[in-house]
Amino acid sequence: MKRMRLGLVGPLPPPNGGMAMQTLQLARLLAEEGVAVELVQTNAPYRPALIGKIRGLRALFRIVPYLVRIWRLAGRVDVIHLMANSGWSWQLFAAPVIWIGRLRKKPVIVNYRGGEAREYLGASARWVKPSMVRAAQLVVPSGFLRQVFSEFGLAASVIPNIIDLETFSPAVSEPPETEFTFAITRNLEPIYGLETAIRALAIAREQVPSLRLRIAGSGPLRAELQRLVEQLGLGDAVVFLGRLERQQVVELYHNAHAMLNPSRVDNMPNSVLEALACGVPVISTNVGGVPYIVEDGHTALLVPPDDAPAMAQAMIKLYTEKSLRSQLREQGCRAVAQYAWDEVRPMWLALYNTHAVAV
């Protein structure tokens, strides 16, 4: 049987964002299945590095080599799997792949991600749909995004994210409760609402002074968030860990009693699924696709976005009710089994084969 030749187009770490990690993980797992994977990176480093500091010129130095690589890729593979997102990223790195695929008669499967899809399509559908409808297939990781796309007359299939359940697995036991620790593993950006979590901690500590918060991630809001910690008198109750490697994230979860996800916008956050896989109870906002992957009171506790008092109340509830923590831990571990590679692999391989045969 002919070996499948797949072109995989998407971002790679650093930074260790959800889409970049999914691209890297998918490339490795497919190669282990015998698929000949050729990877084209959408966020490749500038060559020379100095170009990255020159506005305008840096775009030219990234886009032109990228388009050349995509053109050559389309000539060598059977199918192209395109990891895509909203905004300028779509226009610069996604749409050209679809048009090149059409010119070279190679099917392009668009794997669209991002919690801001409704806002983006609402503002830009007239510019996005002409290229999107020419993809061989549109695939999204959640029922939430499938619903969003249907609102704009676009049909999408659902293939969920992949969670590495060997790496992200429960600790042998819960850490000691002398200092009850919450963990956050999100970039320090406005859409992730970290100031809400910090304010919630300050409120919750009025009743439970032993509560602590450890934040893993980097981003432009670090100095602002550190000032907020000082203003609220939280001192060393909040620790900024910076960007962590994969195994360090696992260790963070194993030493935490719960995970906070205070996002204002979200689709299918890997951080939430990875925390559940590690047996860590989750408190999350109920935005975007989050209610599609966890159930309030069953696999997680959900609160409204930008509501520090509500998040604080959930934090105190989780601290005081050990039986609730045990329930969320058990149900969360069961819920993430569907994201194992053994479950997701047949979906992708069947899709690739369907479109490769159709060429």
- pLDDT digit string, tens, across residues 270-296: 999 999 999 999 999 999 999 999 999
Question: From CA 319, how far away is CA 114, in angstroms rounded?
Answer: 32
In angstroms, the Cα distances linking 134 to 137, 142, 281, 357 are: 8, 21, 42, 18
- The percentage of residues in the chain with a pLDDT greater than 90, rounded to a whole number, is 85
Question: From CA 72, how far away is CA 86, in angstroms rounded?
Answer: 25
| 339 pLDDT higher than 70 | yes
**Chain segment 87-121, per-residue pLDDT in tens:** 888 999 999 999 999 999 999 999 998 878 899 99
Question: From CA 184, how far away is CA 92, in angstroms rounded?
Answer: 31
Question: From CA 133, how far away is CA 258, in angstroms rounded?
Answer: 42
| 359 pLDDT higher than 60 | no
Q: Which architecture, in CATH terms, is 5-162+340-358?
A: 3-Layer(aba) Sandwich (3.40)
Q: Which architecture, in CATH terms, is 181-338?
A: 3-Layer(aba) Sandwich (3.40)
Q: Which H or E element spans position 248?
A: helix 246-254
Domain 5-162+340-358 identical in fold to domain 181-338: yes
pLDDT, residue 87, reads 85
**Chain segment 112-169, per-residue pLDDT in tens:** 988 788 999 999 989 999 999 999 999 999 999 999 999 999 999 999 999 999 999 9
CB 300 within 8 A of CB 281: yes
Which residue in 108, 114, 109, 57 sits closest to 88, CA to CA?
114
Question: From CA 66, how far away is CA 46, in angstroms rounded?
Answer: 11
**Chain segment 153-209, per-residue pLDDT in tens:** 999 999 999 999 999 999 988 888 889 999 999 999 999 999 999 999 999 999 999
What values do phi and psi take at 181, rounded to 5?
-110, 130
pLDDT, residue 317, reads 98
CB 359 within 8 A of CB 180: no
Top mean pLDDT of 4-18, 49-63, 69-83 is at 69-83
CA dihedral over 66, 72, 75, 78, signed as positive or negative = negative
| 351 pLDDT higher than 70 | yes
Domain extent listing, the chain: 5-162+340-358, 181-338
